[in-house]
Amino acid sequence: MERIGVFVCHCKLMAYMDTGTVVEAISKKPDVVHAAAYEDLCLAPGLEQVKDTIKNEKLDGVLITSCSPVLHQEVLRQAVTAAGLEAHQMQAVDIRSQNGVKENTERAIEAISSALDKLKASLPPVRTKVPITKKVLVIGGGIAGIRASLDIADGGYEVILVERTHSIGGHMIQYSETFPTLDCPQCIETPLMTDTGQHDNITIYAYSEIEEVTGSIGKFKVKIRRKAAYVDWDKCNGCLMCIEKCPPRVLSEYERYLDMPKRQAHRRAIWVPHAQAVPMRPIIDKDHCLYFTKGKCRVCEQACPSKAIDFTQQESFVEIEVGAIVVASGFDLMPKSAIKEYELDKDILEGIEFERILCPAGPTAGKVIRPSDGREPKTVAFISCCGSRDPEHGVPYCSKVCCMYLVKMALLYMHAVHDGQTFIFYIDIRTTGKGYEEFVQRAVTEDNVLYLRGKVSKIFRDGDKIKVWGADTLTGKRIEMAVDLVVLGMAMLPSEGVKELADKLGIATDEHGFMVELHSKLRPMESSVPGIYLAGCCQGPKDIQDTVAQGGGAASKVLALFAQDEVILEEAAVR
């Protein structure tokens, strides 16, 4: 390059260096034929100036200093290519620094000089055109994955939805009712689940996981592992007669292993998670099935009218090719055992466990009873920030939804047990969603939910009661209370196995395992790899509203990609 132009952007936000000196120093560099300071290069008039100068000065190389190349590079590049140059003939360089004017100026000159060297050495990138396979893989069938799948499928493209449990629905379907409007998931989520199951453009691989991913945007090759269900799902008609006769009673993962009186929350060895499962297909739990463990029984086989039971079934693999991937692998809760000063006890529950007990479609049909003795609890304490906001013992971040779901459950409990009393121990009440603050106010004034400000220090059983040691920092008094039931607002973590999944996809995760978005404010749905998008709690704790919005957002990204027929992949050339 022999005719290089250097454009030093200088807006009011960047009045921290002596641009005159910078321009003077740079204009003396070899091959620099134009160097000048401009105001607001990122705006249309500034971009026009760049274009005009490229033409008038017959520039063959352009160097632009701007505040954030990440954000501005694209418009700058467009302006430069519009003026007839190739993209590699431009470099954008960030010259912001936080020191005194003199040092900033020196640093800027240094940064521009090395960027000039880089510019001169740059080669045209190697470009390959990849035709886009207009199919999408969605990983995770929670509300995020469901929303994304439906939106893409409605857009006319084929969706392959991979869910590792044997029904879609995610955590939401386990809840009693959802804040802030108190509609039940069985009413608002099941229609979407059914729609997903019936949609012509959606194929669900339930009880399946991602084995391997290769390729890149436009053309990913994915190997899916279908775990052995020991039931031929193609033959099975979902009548569930197999389950009725199955002898073992086992604690159920869907019921969070709740051990309720009269084994209300137990499942059989052959089982479906719940009555609205999609797909409605059972699996055999090999560890508890009498045939697998003791070599006899086969009652399910006899009961099945479709001859679908297959004790010899092996896991199988499906290979697909897709143009884009949406990751919606959701969250898990931090285990209760993580907090040593809160005892492990049948009547000390985490959020989802209590949701199951409150849930009309749950194991107790919504009758609120204690797991230990089946009695109706008359006093319930809810504990916020269990593991969240605790950089010393847990995670430093706020899990965002616990404030809301704890008060929701307190309110639902009061609706079920009219002579009950609830207490919520909190540090700060965070209710920033639409209608959230009003929800809390309603719970306090209409449903007698009493807030106590202080983090709980110890929880332990004392005879028939659970003792809670807390504080009310507002009165400056220490609190000791004996309640019937305790509910812990455990921190939200990324779902188990997230690291392995991210590694297979080649996408970045943060120190907690949440998937990293390309830009926290401006590109929240894009992962660090082009063509792989993020939705829901896999990217960070959030409520259903935000999850659904992000699911729809990720779908729109995929639809925008699929509106084109090919992507141009650029790879840096090597000498």
The residue range among 181-189, 410-418, 447-455, 513-521 that interacts with another protein, by the rule CB under 8 A, is 447-455
Among residues 357, 398, 471, 567, which is the contact residue for another protein, using CB under 8 A? 471
Q: How far apart are the first and last CA of the chain?
A: 16
479 binds, among ligand FAD, another protein, none (CB under 5 to 8 A by kind): another protein
Distance CA 150, CA 265 (A): 32
Distance CA 355, CA 247 (A): 28
Helical (H) or strand (E) element with 551: helix 544-562
In this chain, which residue has its C-beta nearest to ligand FAD? 142
- 197 versus 394: smaller Cβ distance to another protein: 394
Q: Which of residues 229-258 bind ligand FAD (CB under 6 A)?
A: none
Q: Which of residues 121-180 bind ligand FAD (CB under 6 A)?
A: 139-145, 162-165, 170-172, 175, 178-179
Q: What stretches of 378-477 show up as alpha helix (H) in DSSP?
A: 402-416, 436-446
List, in order, residues 6 or more apart from 530 with CB less than 8 Å away: 216, 217, 567
- Going by the DSSP 8-state scheme, the letter that residue 250 receives in this structure is E
Q: Which of residues 305-364 bind another protein (CB under 8 A)?
A: 341
Q: Is residue 455 at the binding interface for another protein, with CB under 8 A as the rule?
A: yes
Distance CA 89, CA 355 (A): 59
Residue 187: CB atoms within 10 A of its CB come to 10
456 binds, among ligand FAD, another protein, none (CB under 5 to 8 A by kind): another protein
139 binds, among another protein, ligand FAD, none (CB under 5 to 8 A by kind): ligand FAD
b/e burial code for range 240-273 (CB count within 10 A of at least 16 → b) = bebbeebebebebebbbebebeeebbbbbbbbbb
Helical (H) or strand (E) element with 90: strand 90-94
Q: Which of residues 373-432 bind ligand FAD (CB under 6 A)?
A: 401, 405, 408
Total residues interacting with another protein, rule: CB under 8 A: 24
Helical (H) or strand (E) element with 34: strand 32-38
For 466-499, the three-class secondary structure string (H helix, E strand, C coil) is: EEEEEEECCCCEEEEEEECEEEEEECEEECCCHH
Burial of 147 (0-12, 13-18, 19+ CB in 10 A): buried
Q: Which of residues 471-530 bind ligand FAD (CB under 6 A)?
A: 495, 497, 501
Q: Is residue 391 at the binding interface for another protein, with CB under 8 A as the rule?
A: yes
b/e burial code for range 79-100 (CB count within 10 A of at least 16 → b) = bbeebebeebbbbbbebbeeee
Q: Which of residues 542-561 bind ligand FAD (CB under 6 A)?
A: 542-545, 547
The residue range among 100-108, 191-199, 358-366, 477-485 that interacts with another protein, by the rule CB under 8 A, is 477-485
List, in order, residues 6 or more apart from 193 with CB less than 8 Å away: 146, 167, 168, 169, 173, 276, 278
- 48 versus 503: smaller Cβ distance to ligand FAD: 503
Contact assessment for residue 382 and residue 425, using Cβ atoms and an 8 Å cutoff: yes
The residue range among 102-110, 193-201, 311-319, 327-335 that interacts with ligand FAD, by the rule CB under 6 A, is 327-335
Return the structure tokens found at 284: 């055999």
Q: In whole angstroms, how close is the CB of 173 to ligand FAD at the nearest point?
A: 8
Q: Is residue 1 at the binding interface for another protein, with CB under 8 A as the rule?
A: no
391 binds, among another protein, ligand FAD, none (CB under 5 to 8 A by kind): another protein
- 347 versus 543: smaller Cβ distance to ligand FAD: 543
Q: In whole angstroms, how close is the CB of 286 to ligand FAD at the nearest point?
A: 19
- 202 versus 459: smaller Cβ distance to another protein: 459
- 352 versus 567: smaller Cβ distance to ligand FAD: 352
454 binds, among ligand FAD, another protein, none (CB under 5 to 8 A by kind): another protein
Q: Is residue 397 at the binding interface for another protein, with CB under 8 A as the rule?
A: no
Contact assessment for residue 444 and residue 403, using Cβ atoms and an 8 Å cutoff: no
Q: In whole angstroms, how close is the CB of 487 to another protein at the nearest point?
A: 17
- 420 versus 536: smaller Cβ distance to ligand FAD: 536
Helical (H) or strand (E) element with 125: none
Q: Which of residues 178-197 bind ligand FAD (CB under 6 A)?
A: 178-179
| Residues of this chain that bind another protein (CB under 8 A) | 341, 385, 389-394, 427, 453-458, 469-473, 476-479
| Residues of this chain that bind ligand FAD (CB under 6 A) | 139-145, 162-165, 170-172, 175, 178-179, 209-210, 328-331, 333, 351-352, 355, 401, 405, 408, 495, 497, 501, 536-537, 542-545, 547
